Amino acid sequence: MTAPNEDDQHHIIQPAKKAGITSRLRTYFLTGLAVAAPIWITIYLLRWFVEFIDTYVVGFFPDQYQPDQLLPFTVPGIGVIIGLVGLTFLGALTANFLGRRILAFGERLVDRMPIVRNIYNALKQIFETVISQSGTSFRDVGLIEYPRRGLYALVFVTTQTKGEVLEKASTDDEMVSVFLPTTPNPTSGFLLFVPKADITILDMSVEEAAKLVISAGLVEPPNGEGNAIPLNQPDSK
């Protein structure tokens, strides 16, 4: 059997070089895509949001008071500015006695409308919960065994379980209310009432846990210092 000549060796090695260049170019392309895509999508969504608010808010003004009629140039975001000013004014109005009376009168009218009443009260409770800075906000990130022993799930700790739920639960232990988010949409999920002893509090923040859930585990938070503790034990930090 004769040894391969120089030309044969060249043909054998050349495809490997081409494969290496192709792999490198593919890596560069994917890296560029990973950098550019979030920037482009963010700019696109911001532009869409601003244009949507501009069109919606400015549409309430008569034609003679349209910003395009009053100004010699277009002002991007004018609707957003007007909306922010309007919401701030509305908040200031409802903070005083007269505003509260007007709001209470309007809510009494809504309470007389069966379908509208249910929708309004549900939305009001959701927004008050989200905006509120009280104990109803997510406090900690926890780890529980769910849906069975040996499997673990991230949960957001909300409040101490109180009232009828705690009284009727078949346990004498203290319980907490937790929110179990779904992937990749953490705004939906399940409300669970869990004994304190069954929850381990993690070091990661709520924002880091949300990223972990949205990315289906691809975006992991920085490694903790091993300080995760059961909820029923005092924090030694």
How does pLDDT run across 118-164, given as a tens digit for each residue? 888 888 877 776 666 444 467 789 999 999 999 999 999 988 888 88
The confidence band for 187, taking pLDDT boundaries of 50, 70 and 90, is confident
Between CA 100 and CA 180 the distance in angstroms is 36
Q: Which residue has the tokens 């608010």?
A: 53
DSSP letter, residue 96: S
The pTM of this model reads: 0.48
Mean pLDDT of 24-39: 90
Cα–Cα dist 21/65, whole Å: 61
Q: Which of 4-13, 31-40, 144-153, 220-229 has the lowest mean pLDDT?
A: 4-13
Least confident of 2-16, 43-57, 158-172: 2-16
Instruction: With a cut of 50, say whether residue 109 has pLDDT above it.
Output: yes
Question: What are the strands of the beta sheet with 200-201, ordered from one edge?
Answer: 189-195, 175-181, 152-160, 140-145, 200-201, 229-230
The rounded Cα 106 to chain-centroid distance in angstroms is 32
Burial code (b: 16+ CB inside 10 Å, e: under 16) for 130-155 equals: eeeeeeeebebbbbbebeeeeeebbb
| 3-state secondary structure at position 156 | strand
Question: Is the confidence at residue 8, as pLDDT, over 70?
Answer: no
